[in-house]
Amino acid sequence: MTRRPTDAQATPAPHRSWSALSGDDVLQELSSTPSGLRSGEAEDRLRQYGPNELSFATATPWWLVLLRQFLSPVIGVLVVAAVISAATDHPVDAIAISLILALNAALGFWQERKAEADVRALQSLSVDTCRVLRDATEHVVSAADVVPGDVVLVESGERIPADMRLIEANALRLDESMLTGESVAATKRSAAVPVDSPSGERSNMAFSGTFVTSGRGVGVVTATGARTQLGEINALVQGPAGQGPLQMLTHKLERRIGLIVLVAVTLVFIAGILTGNDIADMFRTAVALAVASIPESLPIVLTVAMSVGVSRMAKRNAILRTLPSVETLGSTTVIASDKTGTLTQNLLTVERIWTPDATVDLTGNRDAPASDSPTVKAVLLTGALTNEAARGGSHSDLSGDAVDVAMARIALEFDVLDEERRAESPSAHMPYEPDLRYSQTVRMNENGERTLHVKGAADTLLSMSDSLARHSGLADLDEELVQDANKRMAADGLRVIATAARTLGPDEDLPSPLPTPSGLTFLGLQGMSDPPRADVASAIRACQQAGIAVKMITGDQPLTATAIAKRLGLRTDVPPLTGAEMADLDDDALTQRLAEVSVAARVTPQDKLRIVRLLQAADHVVAVTGDGVNDAPALKAAAIGVAMGRSGTDVARESADLVLTDDNFVTIVHAVEQGRVTFAAIRKATFFLLSTGAAALLAMSVNVVLDQPLLFLPLQMLWINIVTNGVQDIALALEAAEGEELKRPPRARSEGLLSRTLWYRAGITAMWMAGAILVVFTWALETGMPEVEARTFALTAFVALNFFQIFSARAQYRSLFQLNPLGNKPLLFTSVGALLLHWGAMQWPVSADALGITPLSPWQWAACFAVGSSVLLIVEAEKFVRRWSHRRDRIPAPAR
C-alpha cells in the first residue's frame, strides 16, 4: 500500500533561511550530525513526517462527470420536453429528443474524462534509491524513506532525492533548468549565502528532482515530499485548470438560450390555456416550441469545427490535447513565453571571439573565417584542449558541461584541431574548479613542445598573465583593453570565457597536482549564449501585427534575458521585471508594471503563476509556452498552455493544451491563425442556428397567440433542426479562411460568441423569416388548403429559407457573390442533399405519415424558393450598407 502523510504528518515548516545558516547550524537545527541519523531516529521521523513522496488529487468519479452533462439550462429544457412527450403518449418525439441528449452527454463526458496525466508526470522525476549516512555508515535506501535530517551523498549522474542544504561540494554542478529555466548548470558551494537570496542564487541548496551533471557533494535533507520546491509545484499543478474563452462564451449562451426558451414556452403555454386550448394540446405545443428554439446540433457543430481545426494544426506540427484549445489560441491577446528551449535553442553556442587584433562575430554567420587569424585560432585551440566534453558519433553529438560542449563544437566546426589530437591524453590536467574559477591542461604542440593551456574567468586569467598575444608577436599586457572587451560582451548578455597559454621549457617540471599558473600569455575571449531559434523574431512580429503581445518570462539573469529580447524584437527600453521586484509590488502595481514590460527575469514558478493570473484578471486571454517543470503551474492555469514536444519535460507536455512537435515558436503563429479561422467558422454556424431557431420561436409564439392551428409538430421541428439545417450547419463549420486573419486584432472578450453585427443580422433575418412563414401558413389556410398541406407548405418554405440563409452565413463581411461557389463543397452537397431528402420524405408514404406532411405541387415549390431567396437579398443588402458605411467613415488604424 502506498503511504501518504496525513495532516498530522506534514514535514517541518520550511526554513527559508537554511541557505543563510552554516552547515553546523543546519545540522544542529535538524538534530542531526555529520555522520547522519541513527537508524531508530530515522524510522521515528518517517512515521512522524511521512514518506518522501508527492500526493496526488483523486480523480472525479465517472458518475459525477456524467451527471454534470445534464446541468446546462438548455439540456434541462430538452429533458423536460422528452419527459412531456413520453407522458403525453408521443413516443417518437420522446425517443428523438432522447437521442439528442445522449449524443450531447457522450461528447461532454468524453472530453472531461481525458487522462489527468499532467500531475502523474511528476512521478517521472522521483528517485528510486539514494545513498545516506546512518549510524556513521553509508546505506542505500529507498528515496521514499528519506527524512529531514538525513545526510545524503550525491555524485555525477544522480538525481537529488529531496531538498538539501549542502555541507560539502567538490566541483559539484547541478542541472536546475527544470526549476530555474537556465541552460547552464548551476555551480554549487557549501558556504552560506545572504538570507534574502532568491532560490536561483542559493548556491548551497540542492532541490528535489534536479540532476547532478558533475562533481560530488554531501547534503543534509531540509524538506521532503510536499514541502520541497517540486512538491510546491505539484500543488500548483493540481489547482483548477484555466477555462477557455469559447467554453465561457458557450456556457453563457446556453444559459441565455435556456432562460429565454423557458420563459417563452411558459408564457405561450399559459396564453394557450387562457384562450381555451386543451391542456394536452398545449403541452405538445410547448414541446414543439422548445424543440424549435433550442439549437440541438450546436454541441455537434462545435465538436466538428474544433476537430477540423485540430486536424489542420496537426499537419503543421501542433498537437491539441483538448478540443476547445483550438479556438482559445485564436482569442489570445498575450503569449507569455519561457526563454530557454522555447524562444532559444537551449544550447550554449559561441557567438563572438575577441582577440587584441580581431573580433569575429558569429551571430547568423557560422561560415566566418575564424581560423584565418593566428590569434583567433589560438583562442579556439586552447578552449578545445582545456575541455572535458565527450564526443559521440558526430561533431554535433557532444555531451558534458554546456560551456565545454560549446567550445569543443566551435573548434571542431572550424577545423582548428582534428578529433585525433583533441582525444590525446594530456600529460597533466586539472578540471574546472568553481572556487578557483579556471581549469588547465598540458598538451604537446605541433612542434613537439609542451604547452600549458588555461581557460576561466577573465579577471582570474589576467592575474596570471604578463603578456598579450598579437599578430606581430607578444606585447605588454593591457588589462584595460581586455576588461573593456569583457564588459561589452557581458553587456550583450554573453557568457564570457577567457583563454591563456604558455610554452613550457624542456626542463620545466610541473608538480602534481598542477600549481596555480603564472607567466601566461593572454590569448582572448569567447562569448557564448543560448541563441534564439530560427524565424522566432519574424514570428513575434507576426504576433504583434495580429495584436498579440509577447512577453518573455524566465528564471535566467536579467542581462541575458534583455539581450535575447533585443535580438527578438521585444521591447527593451523599459527595465525588465524581476522576481525580487515582484515581491515588493501589490497586485495593482504589478498589473501596471506588466502592461509596460516585455521581459520578466529571475522569476520562480510561483511568480510565473501570479503573472498569468494577473494578466487574465486584466481581461487578457493568456497563452503560456514552456518546456520545464517550472513552467507547469503557469501552463495549466493559463487559458491555453503550449509545451515543447521534443525538448520539453513530461510534466510540461502533460500540463499543456497544445504540444509543438517541432519545438518551434513559429508554429504557434500558425496555430493562432487556425484558431481564428476555427472561431470564425463556429461563429458563422452559431449565427445560422440562432437566427433560424429564433425565427421558429417567434413564428410559433405568434401562431399560438393568433389562435391558429399548430404551425409545426414537434417531430417536424426535429426534422428541420437535425436532418436539414443540422447537416448543413456541420458543413458550414468546415468553411475555410476568408484571409487576413492575422491582420485583425484579437476579438474583444466582451463581444460574446456573436459580434454585435451578427446579433443585429440574426435579429432582422429571424423576424423576416418568422413573418414569411406565418404569411405563407395564413395564406394557405385562408385559400382553403387542408391543415396538413398548409403546414407542409409553411415547413417547406422554412426549409428553403434555411437553404439560402446558410449560404449567406459563409462570410461575415464579404458578399456571397465574391466567394467561390465551390469553396465549400461539403456545404453545397449537404444543402442540395437536404432539399432532396425533404422532397423524398414527402413522396414516401411511410415518412410522410410519420412527419405529418404531404407532397407539394411544382408551383408550391417555386413559391417556397421565391420566399426563401428573399432572406439572401436582406443579408446582402445589410452587408452592402455596412461596407459602404465603413469605407465612408474609415480612418487609419493606430500602429501596434
Return the pLDDT at 524: 95
Per the annotation, the verdict on 478 as an active-site residue is no
Same domain, 34 and 176: yes
Return the pLDDT at 764: 94
CATH number at residue 180: 2.70.150.10
Same domain, 386 and 492: yes
CATH number at residue 647: 3.40.50.1000
Same domain, 444 and 575: no
Helices (H), 356-478: 374-385, 402-413, 419-422, 458-464
Same domain, 518 and 378: yes
Q: Which of 525, 544, 577 is the last residue of a domain?
A: 525
Who has greater pLDDT, 352 or 252?
352
Cα distances (angstroms) measured from residue 197 to each of 23, 145, 200, 623: 17, 30, 8, 30
The domain total for the chain is: 3
Same domain, 380 and 419: yes
Backbone angles phi, psi at 576, to 5 degrees: -65, 150
CATH number at residue 455: 3.40.1110.10
Return the pLDDT at 150: 95
Q: Is the pLDDT of residue 711 over 70?
A: yes
- Specify if 465 maps to a domain: yes
Look up the domain containing 487 and give its range: 352-525
- The pLDDT tens digits for 198-255 are 666 788 999 888 888 778 899 999 999 888 887 777 666 665 554 555 666 666 776 7
Spot the catalytic one: 145, 163, 338, 650.
Answer: 338
Angle between helices 665-705 and 536-545 (to 10 degrees): 30
- The pLDDT tens digits for 589-603 are 999 999 999 999 888
Return the pLDDT at 3: 38
- The pLDDT tens digits for 115-133 are 343 334 444 444 578 899 9
Same domain, 441 and 521: yes
Same domain, 507 and 594: no
Same domain, 514 and 624: no
* 135-142 LR contacts (CB < 8 Å, sep 24+): 135/35, 135/36, 135/38, 135/39, 136/35, 136/36
Same domain, 339 and 357: no
- Specify if 565 maps to a domain: yes
- Specify if 603 maps to a domain: yes
- Specify if 854 maps to a domain: no
- Specify if 430 maps to a domain: yes
Return the pLDDT at 781: 92
Q: Is the pLDDT of residue 629 over 80?
A: no
- Specify if 477 maps to a domain: yes
Same domain, 505 and 576: no
Q: Which of 608, 638, 670 is the last residue of a domain?
A: 670
- Specify if 789 maps to a domain: no
Same domain, 437 and 395: yes
Q: Do the strands 520-529 and 465-470 form a parallel or antiparallel pair, or are they unpaired?
A: parallel
Distance of CA 524 to the CA centre of its chain: 42
Model confidence at 866, pLDDT cuts 50, 70, 90, reads very high
Q: Convert 656-693 to b/e letters by CB count within 10 Å (16 or more is b).
A: bbbbbeebbbbbbbbbbbbbbbbbbbbbbbbbbbbbbb
Model confidence at 69, pLDDT cuts 50, 70, 90, reads low
Same domain, 33 and 181: yes
Return the pLDDT at 1: 32
- Specify if 560 maps to a domain: yes
Q: Which of 237, 254, 270 is the last residue of a domain?
A: 237
Model confidence at 72, pLDDT cuts 50, 70, 90, reads low
Q: Give the C-alpha separation, 805 to 875, whole Å.
A: 8
Q: What's the whole-number average pLDDT of the chain?
A: 80
Element (H, E) at 133: strand 129-134
